[in-house]
Structures are given as structure tokens and as C-alpha cells.
Amino acid sequence: MGTDLHAPLGRNNEARLRRSRRISVGVIFGLLVGAGVFGFSFYAMRPDPALQKTEVAKNNASPDVTSDERISTSPSAASKDLTRSGPNGGATIQRTQTDNGQVVTTYSPKQRDGNGPLIIEAQRVGQDERVAAIPNEDLIEDTSEGRLPIVGPDGLRPMEQYARPWSGARGTRIAIVVGGLGLSQTGTQNAIRTLPGEITLAFAATGNSLPRWMQEARRKGHEILVQLPMEPFDYPGSNPGASTLVTQANVKENIANLHEAMAKITNYTGVMNYLGGRFLSDADALEPVLRDIAGRGLLFIDDGSSAQSLTEKIAKPLQLPHAFADLTLDAQLDKLEILKKLDELERIAQRKGFAIGSASAFDESIEAIQQWVGEVNNRGIEIVGVSAVVNDPAHP
């Protein structure tokens, strides 16, 4: 205090004021720097608005719908790619960042596992059972002969669209075709409602109420064929029915009868002969028919009943997907005998990787097949639609 008394009035106050000003400026500068750092940190840690939009969209979706999300940038922007996916993804989300920093989000459906909301996709291999009775209009043409199958504008074939999905594991496969559906109401009903969906059903073109039965069969998961009446060796003693394709008819007549049979139903993968030993052995009569079938994106199944069949020789150069049945399962209409044939079919499949068996919609056949399929599934055999075992030149 003495010092202050001997100092000139106000001189020490000025020194203290200068020191105070220096301290105040330093404090203020420090506070400004601290505020700047804090503000920058807050800015850097703030949520990305574009990501917030994505999260809001995901939160507003159905609880069982997760997404695949892809972030892409324009060529002039920094490259950034992030993919996230969930096990039950119901949508694909693509986010594109433009040059000015805006983010455009596009949502599109992805394939479901069948347990969630139904997404109807017309252009894919196979059909969901819930819409399997509805034809793909892109694969149909309206003609004076009726509605006929065609290859779609993008190359999709009816044999692919209406095929029964399978594992694709390339293990031992067996296809069983049960034919004659439509000829007997009780037999047809029994076959559709009793046989498991893995069994292929063939509808006789001469049958009754075919559109009704087709829809029920497709809803049960069956792949289906049209059975085409063809001339047997003992024709007309054995007569497949009206509009039979015969060797003595000209090409125009046989093609007209082919189209009449094809127009009876929709949603089938191909055509199978009904009898036809003589017709299948006549190249001049058979070639135009198989050519028309090939051009429509269908497959052809030969029931294997005629050793003189020329199907293989003609089908290959036409690029026609085709196959032969290895065994007729119910030549003897006895359940035990049919079960023995089914066991033989299994041995054939084990030897060459796959096999095809054919049967008719008799009660004994249906009962035996139902029992056998329930047993063979436990032996590592996959029962598939017939389209899964054909020789398809498009996919060798």
C-alpha cells in the first residue's frame, strides 16, 4: 500500500489497466478459439441428412422389410460405395449423389422368400403359387385358333415362366409325370388333391373342364403339360380322340390340330405325346409339329413307349428342349407292382443322375406315388418338375 502512496496519482492504475486489457484480450481470443473448435466438432458429428432420410424410409416400412442399400456418386464426385443387406430384405434402395450434393433415392422390390408381402413379378423363372394360375400375357398370342403360347419379347420362354422351382443342387433328381387328367372327373380331382406339388401333371387335350383343373393344379404347385393325341400303330383301332395328329394328314391340318390342343389351357411348360407310336416314327409328319413347339418356347416329353420314335433325332437340330420317360410305372395296375417300378426308377436315377417316370391318373398309381415320394425324400432324392431334367440346348 505504501508504494501506492508514493506513486504519482493514477500511474499504477494505468499499468494495471494495461495488464487487465492484455488478460482480457487473451481470454476473449481463447474463448473464440474454443467456440470455433466446439462448433466444428458439432458440425462434423451431426447426422447426415441424406442418411436420416434413408433411416426414416426404413423405419416407415413394414417391420419384416429390411433393405439392400447402395450409395453411388456421379463420376465427378468422390467415389463412395457402401452396401448393407439384411436376411429378409424386401427392397433394394439405390441412393445416387449428384454433383451439387443432393441425394436421389430409388426403391425397387427384390425377390422374397414367400413369407412376406406378395410382390407379383411377371418376368422371372417360375411363379409364386399364389398367382400360378394367372398366365403371363406377354407369353400369349391371340389367334383364330385360340390363345397360344409364345416366347416373350425379352426372350422369356413359357417353359421357364411356368416351371416348378427346384433347388438347382444337381443331385439325384426324379421327375414323375401323371397323365390323362381331364378324362375322368373323379380321377383328375383325386390326382390334383392327393399328389404332392412336385409331381408333374399332364392334361389330355380331349379332356373336359381343363381350364378349371389347370387353375387348381397350378395353385397346388404342380408343373403341367398338354398331352397331344397322336396316331398309334393300330389306329383307328386305338383312337386317342378327336383332332388326332395322323401321318396321312397334310402339315396344315396337323398344325391346326396342334394349335387346337395347345389352346385348351395356359400356364404349361410343354407338350407330351398321348399314344402316337406311328406318328412319332414318321419324320415328315413329326418334324413340322416339333418345329412349331420349339418356336413357342415349350419343351417336349416323349413317353418312351415307342422304340421307333424319332424325337431325339429331330429335336436336336431344332434346339427343342426334350426328354424321354425312362419307365412306364403302371403297366401293371397294382400298387405293389407300381412301387417296385418306382424303386427301379430310383436305381436308374442313382446311376445316371436323373430319371423320368410316367403314369396315368388311376387310383392305384396315385396312391403308390404318394406313398413312395414321402419315403424317397429321406434318401437324398429330389423330386422335381419335368422341366428340371430335360435336355435344353439353351442351357447345356
pLDDT in tens, the chain (396 residues): 444 434 443 444 444 444 444 445 454 555 555 555 455 444 444 544 444 444 433 444 444 433 333 333 333 434 344 333 333 334 455 556 566 555 565 545 555 555 555 444 443 457 777 888 899 999 999 999 999 999 999 999 999 999 999 999 889 999 999 999 999 999 999 999 999 999 999 999 999 999 999 999 999 999 999 999 999 999 999 999 889 999 999 999 999 999 999 999 999 999 999 999 999 999 999 999 999 999 999 999 999 999 999 999 999 999 999 999 999 999 999 999 999 999 999 999 999 999 999 999 999 999 999 999 999 988 889 999 999 999 998 887
What does R_g of the chain's alpha carbons equal in angstroms?
36
Phi-psi group of 244: left, alpha or beta (phi > 0 → left; psi -120 to 50 → alpha; rest → beta): beta
Clarify whether residues 228 and 304 are in a common domain.
yes
Task: Give, in order, the Cα–Cα distances in Å from 1 to each of 4, 20, 35, 129.
Answer: 5, 19, 40, 102
- Residue 14 within a domain: no
Are 98 and 245 within one domain?
no
- Kindly give the residue spans of alpha helices, DSSP state H, lying in 226-362: 251-262, 277-280, 283-295, 311-315, 335-352
* Whether residues 358 and 232 fall in one domain: yes
Does any domain span residue 283?
yes
Residues 272 and 193 in one domain: yes
158 and 279, same domain (yes or no): yes
**pTM for this predicted structure:** 0.70
Element (H, E) at 192: helix 185-194
Verify that 57 and 138 share a domain, yes or no: no
Question: Do 167 and 279 lie in a common domain?
Answer: yes
Is 124 inside any structural domain?
A: no
Task: Tell whether 224 and 157 lie within a shared domain.
Answer: yes
Farthest CA pair distance, the chain: 148
Find the domain containing 99 and state its range. 49-109
Rounded CA separation 385/200 (Å): 6
Give domain status of residue 198, yes or no: yes
Structure-block grid coordinates of residue 72: 453411388
Are 193 and 229 contained in the same domain?
yes
Number of domains making up the chain: 2
